[in-house]
Structure 1
């Protein structure tokens, strides 16, 4: 492609805001943006945040159903806690330009909050928001690798501190103070500072936690996905967000930046096409004509990670090749990690870690010099006649980022484990984090069997009393009552359990038409029974049809609450017995016979413990 040289003569036209005077904020290159640039940066920041939805759907689709809500809660914790610490100190450690900043860490610009009237208020806040979206993405990558066996409270503490893992090395590459930046390291959109760091941290986390219980009892084959459709939908959302991730990293559309923003978007798609085609061919050949969901997902994501570092530095065929190699690395590395018992349910270690390292190296091999932008400091990749220097710097960058992320993650988790266990209790892991951490009980996924099998070893009435997800427990109570009414009617010929006086005069000066029965036949037994239930459960008082005595559902008086039985009078004891009888009437009681039936279903030989 021939460039019009006259277009690029002189200074960086459009790269600097027209009003950069009288500012109380230290000017850095990140803030050299005008109105159009700010609009571009903000819009892409908003889109990048939708990648959190993609990560959540992908990760929840890869784990068992009894842990799907837990993984979404972890993503919420990542954004909330990690975002707060990034504002407090993360941004300053990456891009701070205080007097004590050095080649290792930035110091300054903490608690970002430029005042009204500052000329750089808009550019500073736009820059912060864009970098914040990157930081939360890097933190979220780790949640998938820790799925199904990480203590939620410990994970929240980890999310709060994990900003350190990302922000320091991000400053090495992108901050003007960073030693890798000064050496000429190139990473446009984060194959290294986001994905390699996130993947390396995920690898260290999975290694620290150990495999899920029983993960490798049946070999190395992946466990079934909890929701394959969610996993695929999450991939599409991430694909969409990646366009903003890469195109937005031109930091605007002024001057020549708009051309490279367009190129970044197209090369991102070309790379993902290459990865997707490779993944389809691989999974069809490996599975003899059948396509495996995770093979294709990992291929597409691996190619996107790989193309990110140099998204506008490549030609189309180079982007396709880089994407295909990234897909190959993702597919090969996932089972390799399983062989060394690094249990990563989502494959974050392989897809983001290994492919992120390849993406960093690819710049040193294939990069063009993006005239007139100074992204590569005038250098080209090895295959473009640029020599070995850029490749060497890129390799050093990958090693530094990977080493930092792994070591600091291990240190953080070790310290957190001293405060609270990072690994879930086996009892909680077998029941699932949704039930034990969030009181969400799924049906038909083995939770009831787990409760029965674990009951002799660890009883938790709070867990057993949790209603199933999607079940209206109030309606269940009513249906249980109706069944009992019907059974007694068949046995005794009348409805003794309820007075069924819903249509009698209860002192209101008029005939009651029933709470539910307005237009239907008032003689209907269902309507009478339901009306009577409502009255009884609300403590209504009325005459018993059979003996004429006044009756009502008793509710514990305030004066009885908190007293011991020996402190009650004879009348108070009678009241308590009546109240307990009413409360227990429809309460399911678990007895030894129920337990024996559970044991038979579970083929267990454990004995009953009262």
Structure 2
């Protein structure tokens, strides 16, 4: 039976009442009901790649910066998505009267009205391209990790759309000069990954390395959470299937067959990258497999296969992925030797492998009959001559140059308004604590606070509670502990008895046994219960002190100046208990301590 290779007619797709701008905006997309369903579904899956990037990046940085990198991913979608709607989509695909070969104009603030027959296709195509745009910005966030001012990064994320949308129009827009020359890029090795990688390289170069990054050589730093990094890779792997298969822009006609081919070639490329990565890391590390080397090999292969995902045979996809993994494995340590500090390896994985992905089309591409993706041309190794390879090489040079130059210009301009680089004090303490008031335990934050006290006023930092700690409960417990000590010293008449050896005896509990000031529970306290009476008195004291303003408690007042061997058993237990909790500085240091430091050492703090 003959296969129908023709695309279906879109009867009724356009109506007499359509505006010219809407028709022009979509005339290069043949989208019917089935295609729209495919595009929307692919867009939803591609957005899950933000989760993958966030997990990967947070797993690669130190624990004290993991929340900050996730916040940057949120900013990328929110701010970058807004600017893409305002002007990005129009600059990529607009066909207004001022459109030229360099940039599209018109069709900004995309919002076709109800009743417009192209409302569905316009929104579907916008959402699909939006998912690409936010991905390109997120690539850059990993290269700027652990040393970028969050507010300045938000401004960068808001404006970074221009770095992506203009070259995307060169390759995919009808007006683009590279598109008119015959440039081929199915799913974005060039406009997404090469642009993102070049922008990441420029960002890392301008920011400089993290403090102390190369103090002990160029070897990689320990990962904050290797499991998160691996899980993020799996999520990205899943999203890449939609990234590439969805770029057929539908399943009507012959497109469904090439969508299936794109999915399989994507997997074949990743197989090649994964196999190379396993062999490479085992040989390099003498039988031990490094997590990031394997991750970068797989991601480098996926980036490499993206430009021509349905233009290759299976063995060609395997080879392209394998070469891409090799490029990622070589360039990542090379950038470190050049002191280009990229914590996630975005410059190597997305930049270098994106470059290879664009060039590979000019070498291996088939002509996907009946689709006109390559304008009837084939790659050099398929008998197509040098033309396609030359166009792809020109495309790579243009995209790479644009990404580096515009990103540097944008960062330079932003730095004039807000400093891009974090203050050294904040970088040492971590962005989670300084930017978001999140205090992690066991990551050296308290040690950094202690070391920096003579040079920087850090009272507000010290008051931040540990992550996952109910500071209200901690405060009440400290007060109870203090009341017990005063009782032992006969300095208090608080009714606080100790129930020795009866802690686990069953006892009836009065339903109105303690005071709760919450909106849903205003039961009175039970004055006969001594523990509850103590808590009630503490609550009254805290309310008198201003509600949320907690008074400073000197938990161990008598150990200053003592040597460790001079401490009693009880004092040692108290010290160990405090050291086990990262909030010890919140209790120990107050304004008088700072004044004593000045009087003792003459150090003037930096306000």
Q: How does 1:185-584 map to 2 (within 5 A)?
A: 185-492=183-490, 495-497=492-494, 514-515=513-514, 525-534=530-539, 536-537=541-542, 554=544, 584=551
The answer (yes or no) to whether the contact 2:208–2:340 under 8 Å persists in 1 is: yes
Shift of the 588–402 alpha-carbon distance from structure 1 to 2, 3 Å rule, reads farther
**For 2:154, which of 153, 156, 159 is the aligned residue?**
156
Deviation at 1:523, TM superposition (A): 6.8
The answer (yes or no) to whether the contact 2:218–2:336 under 8 Å persists in 1 is: yes
Where has structure 1 moved over 6 Å in runs of 4 or more?
Answer: 521-524, 587-592, 594-598
1:42 is aligned to 2:40: yes
CA distance in 2, matches of 1:451, 1:71: 22
Partner of 1:559: none
Partner of 1:504: none
Deviation at 1:189, TM superposition (A): 0.1
Partner of 1:576: none
Shift of the 366–524 alpha-carbon distance from structure 1 to 2, 3 Å rule, reads same
Shift of the 45–513 alpha-carbon distance from structure 1 to 2, 3 Å rule, reads closer
The answer (yes or no) to whether the contact 1:138–1:198 under 8 Å persists in 2 is: yes
Secondary structure at the residue paired with 2:489? helix
TM-score (norm 2): 0.85
CA distance in 1, matches of 2:114, 2:399: 37
1:21 is aligned to 2:15: yes
**Which is worse superposed, 13-22 or 284-293?**
13-22
CA distance in 1, matches of 2:558, 2:140: 44
Deviation at 1:474, TM superposition (A): 1.1
**For 1:586, which of 550, 553, 556 is the aligned residue?**
553
Deviation at 1:26, TM superposition (A): 2.7
Partner of 1:564: none
The answer (yes or no) to whether the contact 1:275–1:325 under 8 Å persists in 2 is: yes
Deviation at 1:596, TM superposition (A): 11
Give per-residue Cα distances to partners, 1:286-341, cap 9 Å, x unaligned.
11111100011000000000000000011111111100000000010000001110
The answer (yes or no) to whether the contact 2:482–2:555 under 8 Å persists in 1 is: no
1:7 is aligned to 2:1: no
CA distance in 2, matches of 1:376, 1:97: 22
CA distance in 2, matches of 1:157, 1:596: 51
Give per-residue Cα distances to partners, 1:354-383, cap 9 Å, x unaligned.
000000011111111101000001111111
Give per-residue Cα distances to partners, 1:375-424, cap 9 Å, x unaligned.
00111111111111101100110000000010000000011111111111
Deviation at 1:120, TM superposition (A): 0.8
CA distance in 2, matches of 1:400, 1:259: 32
The answer (yes or no) to whether the contact 1:298–1:330 under 8 Å persists in 2 is: yes
CA distance in 1, matches of 2:550, 2:332: 54
CA distance in 2, matches of 1:81, 1:389: 40
CA distance in 2, matches of 1:595, 1:62: 41
Secondary structure at the residue paired with 1:225? coil
Partner of 2:506: none
Partner of 2:79: 81
The answer (yes or no) to whether the contact 2:484–2:496 under 8 Å persists in 1 is: no
Shift of the 109–245 alpha-carbon distance from structure 1 to 2, 3 Å rule, reads same
In the alignment, structure 1 segments of 5+ residues that lack a partner are 501-510, 539-553, 557-578
The answer (yes or no) to whether the contact 1:31–1:120 under 8 Å persists in 2 is: no
Shift of the 255–206 alpha-carbon distance from structure 1 to 2, 3 Å rule, reads same
Deviation at 1:496, TM superposition (A): 2.3
Secondary structure at the residue paired with 1:26? helix
How many residues matched? 547
Which has more radius of gyration? 1
CA distance in 2, matches of 1:324, 1:93: 35
The answer (yes or no) to whether the contact 2:4–2:253 under 8 Å persists in 1 is: no
Deviation at 1:537, TM superposition (A): 4.2
CA distance in 2, matches of 1:491, 1:590: 14
In the alignment, structure 2 segments of 5+ residues that lack a partner are 498-509, 517-522, 565-574, 580-599
Deviation at 1:528, TM superposition (A): 4.4
Deviation at 1:530, TM superposition (A): 3.2
**Which is worse superposed, 28-37 or 140-149?**
28-37
CA distance in 2, matches of 1:148, 1:17: 54
Partner of 1:546: none
Deviation at 1:484, TM superposition (A): 1.4
Deviation at 1:122, TM superposition (A): 0.7
Give per-residue Cα distances to partners, 1:570-590, cap 9 Å, x unaligned.
xxxxxxxxx9xx964736799
Shift of the 587–15 alpha-carbon distance from structure 1 to 2, 3 Å rule, reads farther
TM-score (norm 1): 0.85
Give per-residue Cα distances to partners, 1:545-574, cap 9 Å, x unaligned.
xxxxxxxxx467xxxxxxxxxxxxxxxxxx
The answer (yes or no) to whether the contact 1:60–1:230 under 8 Å persists in 2 is: yes
Deviation at 1:266, TM superposition (A): 0.6
Deviation at 1:475, TM superposition (A): 1.4
Shift of the 300–15 alpha-carbon distance from structure 1 to 2, 3 Å rule, reads farther
**Which is worse superposed, 529-538 or 454-463?**
529-538
Secondary structure at the residue paired with 1:296? helix
Shift of the 29–383 alpha-carbon distance from structure 1 to 2, 3 Å rule, reads farther
Give per-residue Cα distances to partners, 1:420-460, cap 9 Å, x unaligned.
11111111111111111111111110110111111111113
Partner of 1:114: 112
